[in-house]
């Protein structure tokens, strides 16, 4: 078996399949001698690379050599980088329409059809908080049901979950206020909730009465609200909340799963704790699954905008219209300005774990990350937590911080989440269940209680990307139909609610 993997004949680096020690000869690289210790999944120079020369992987530029690199040397952050002035930028969007394969027979899942017409994959009762001051009340109501046997009598209800956060007051009514409002609206209308109770304090900036009026949300069986100051304090509000949630549970239990076309699935795409195999196994395989979903008429939401930077040309080439391409460029420009104002660079993005896993620059990370979106046309670009109305592949702007990004995707309408990881991210989401995809077999085997699916078979030669994508799609249908994901079994999901905080705190 070859000791290295070269992804394209034009690449000047290859990946080490396992740790390489100095003195080892690599027949596949014309007998090159390994000159440095190269950790597993890291890059090795496939030929001499001059200082300032482009370093290529996937037949794409991932950086430049910061010094001369000899054939057989380890290529990583010590000798490969991306000076900010040299980051490749696309001047204008290019538009083309890829030809997708003929759609397969319509797939379906067993889901909940809501009165709004939307399709749910879970049947939760949600408790939302307008402000941090109502977090304790919300959690006490949630814990009441966690520690009683009330839910045991209602098999069709997935649970009661409270989402608390650290804001809602002390904020100006600017961009941060608008973002929080969109998150509330999206969760209040989420198809995975049979009912929502929203709790406020009464004197906060985010007034519940104004929110309901602004968004046209009426009190009823599916939505109720309580104000702590109006109810007479903490204990009375907790008691009132418990009574409301009990009524919601009884009503939710009457709902039954029914066959729903896969076109009603809206999948949030995430990668976290990425490694060098993310862009080779799990992300392309997830992209293949999303191509199937798009052919079925479903929706895939790509996000984490800073992890598109440097690979945007691949998405711009697939933009449905020039306006869609320009919308993506506008969001990237916003991020450049945002990071500059805060004294950081987008190339700061690869984390210590990413680098330990073999990723060197933001370009390399982004090239792998965008592969989650598959090869379908890019149909729309949305602001954070903005309702997604277009089908097919879309982008929702967000930071690369997974809990913040997924919170926005679910507010935008995602009823499922797919999360790829190479290092082993401990993550799960509610109300949309999260399918965790391991990029490599050692990770899958070591964290098997956390990982739902092993994409390492692609690297091991056991399956193709297309075969892996088909299996992921089939697993998504099972999860959508009620099969519990690993993160659900581990009770992840409520603490991972994290709306994007931006703007002045006053």
**DSSP state letters, 424-486:** ------SSS-EEEEESSHHHHHHTTTT-SEE-HHHHTTSS-HHHHHHHHHHHHHHHHTTPPPH
Looking at residues 92-102, what average pLDDT do you find? 47
CA distances from 104 to 57, 267, 285, 463, 480 (A): 33, 19, 18, 21, 19
pLDDT at 62: 93
The H helix count followed by the E strand count for the chain is 15, 23
Kindly tell me the burial class for residue 353, based on how many C-beta atoms sit within 10 Å of its own C-beta (0-12, 13-18, 19 or more): middle
Q: Which among 190, 281, 267 is positioned nearest to 475, based on CA atoms?
A: 267
Under the banding of pLDDT at 50, 70 and 90, the label for residue 503 is confident
Residues of the chain with pLDDT > 70: what percent?
A: 95
Query: What phi and psi values does residue 249 have, to the nearest 5 degrees?
Result: -65, -45
- Residue among 415, 456, 468, 487 at smallest CA distance from 119: 415
Indicate the pLDDT class of residue 102, thresholds 50, 70 and 90. Answer: low
Q: Report strand pairing: 80-81 vs 60-65.
A: antiparallel
Residue of 264, 251, 257, 248 whose CA lies nearest to 415: 264
pLDDT above 80: residue 68: yes
What pLDDT does 380 receive? 98
- Tell whether the model's pLDDT for residue 36 goes beyond 80: yes
CA-based torsion, 176, 182, 186, 189: positive or negative: positive
Mean pLDDT for 117-125 is 97
Neighbour tally for 42: CB within 10 Å: 24
Q: According to DSSP H, which parts of 75-195 are helical?
A: 135-146, 175-188
> Is the CB of residue 419 less than 8 Å from the CB of residue 482?
no
Peptide bond connecting 431 to the previous residue in cis, omega within 30 degrees of 0? yes
Q: What is the pLDDT of residue 349?
A: 63
Q: What integer pLDDT is reported at residue 82 of this predicted model?
A: 84
Q: Considering only 171-175, 190-194, 331-335, 419-423, which range has the smallest mean pLDDT? A: 171-175
What's the average model confidence in pLDDT over 130-152?
97
- What pLDDT is recorded for position 394? 98
Most confident option among 90-99, 348-357, 453-462? 453-462
pLDDT at residue number 100 = 47
Model confidence, pTM = 0.94
By the 8 A CB rule, do 257 and 110 touch? yes
Q: What percent of the chain has pLDDT over 90?
A: 89
d(CA 377, CA 395): 11
Residue 187 pLDDT > 90: yes
Q: What average pLDDT does this structure show over 380-400?
A: 97
Rounded Cα–Cα distance for residues 498 and 505 (Å): 17
Confidence of residue 103 (pLDDT cuts 50, 70, 90): low
CA 80 to CA 64: how far, in whole Å? Answer: 6
- Beta carbons within 8 Å of 443's beta carbon, 6+ residues apart: 421, 422, 423, 424, 451, 456
- pLDDT over 60 (residue 282): yes
Q: List, for residues 464-501, the tens digit of each pLDDT value.
A: 999 999 999 999 999 999 999 999 999 999 999 999 99
Query: Given this model, what pLDDT does residue 344 score?
Result: 84
Say yes or no to pLDDT of 222 above 90: yes
Q: Is the pLDDT of residue 347 over 90?
A: no
Range with lowest mean pLDDT among 97-101, 110-114, 274-278, 417-421: 97-101
Mean pLDDT over the full length of the chain: 93
Span 395-409, pLDDT tens digits? 999 999 999 999 999
């Amino acid at each position: 078996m070859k000791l290295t993997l070269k992804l394209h004949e034009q690449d000047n680096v290859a990946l080490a399949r396992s740790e390489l020690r100095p003195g080892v000869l690599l027949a596949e690289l014309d007998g090159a001698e390994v000159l440095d210790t190269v950790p597993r999944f890291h890059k090795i120079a496939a030929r001499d690379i001059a200082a300032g020369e482009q370093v290529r992987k996937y037949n794409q530029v991932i950086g430049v050599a910061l010094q001369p690199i000899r054939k057989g040397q380890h290529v990583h952050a010590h000798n490969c980088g991306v000076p900010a002035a040299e980051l490749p930028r696309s001047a204008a969007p290019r538009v083309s329409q890829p030809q997708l394969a003929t759609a397969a027979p319509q797939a379906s899942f067993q889901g909940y059809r809501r009165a709004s017409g939307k399709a749910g994959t879970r049947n939760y009762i949600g408790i939302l908080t307008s402000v941090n001051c109502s977090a304790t009340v919300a959690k006490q109501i949630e814990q009441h049901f966690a520690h009683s046997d009330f839910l045991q009598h209602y098999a069709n209800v997935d649970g009661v979950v409270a989402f608390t956060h650290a804001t809602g007051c002390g904020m100006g009514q600017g961009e941060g206020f608008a973002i929080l409002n969109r998150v509330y609206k999206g969760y209040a209308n989420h198809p995975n909730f049979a009912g929502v109770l929203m709790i406020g304090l009464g004197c906060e900036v985010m007034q519940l009465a104004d929110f309901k009026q602004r968004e046209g949300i009426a009190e009823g069986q599916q939505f109720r609200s309580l104000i702590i100051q109006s109810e007479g304090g903490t204990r009375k509000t907790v008691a009132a909340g418990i009574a409301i949630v009990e009524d919601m549970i009884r009503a939710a239990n009457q709902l039954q799963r029914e066959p729903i076309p896969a076109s009603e699935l809206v999948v949030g795409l995430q990668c976290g704790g990425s490694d060098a195999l993310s862009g080779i196994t799990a992300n392309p395989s997830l992209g293949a699954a999303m191509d199937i979903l798009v052919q079925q008429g479903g929706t895939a939401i790509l996000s984490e905008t800073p992890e598109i930077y440097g690979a945007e040309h691949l998405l711009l080439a697939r933009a449905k219209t020039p306006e869609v391409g320009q919308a993506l460029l506008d969001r990237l420009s916003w991020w450049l300005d945002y990071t500059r104002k805060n004294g950081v660079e987008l190339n700061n993005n690869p984390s210590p774990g990413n680098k330990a896993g073999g990723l060197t620059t933001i370009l390399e990370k982004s090239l792998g990350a965008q592969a989650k979106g598959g090869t379908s046309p890019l149909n729309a670009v949305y602001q954070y937590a903005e309702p997604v109305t277009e089908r097919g592949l879309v982008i929702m702007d967000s930071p690369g911080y997974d809990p913040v990004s997924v919170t926005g995707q679910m507010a935008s309408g995602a009823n499922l989440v797919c999360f790829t990881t190479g290092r082993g991210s401990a993550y799960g989401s509610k109300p949309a269940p999260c399918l965790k995809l391991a990029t490599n077999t050692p990770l899958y085997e070591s964290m098997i209680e956390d990982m739902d699916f092993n994409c390492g078979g692609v690297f091991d030669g056991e399956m193709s990307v297309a075969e892996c994508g088909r299996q992921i799609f089939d697993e998504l249908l099972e999860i959508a139909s009620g099969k519990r994901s690993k993160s659900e079994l581990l009770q992840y999901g409520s603490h991972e609610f994290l709306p994007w905080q931006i703007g002045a705190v006053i």
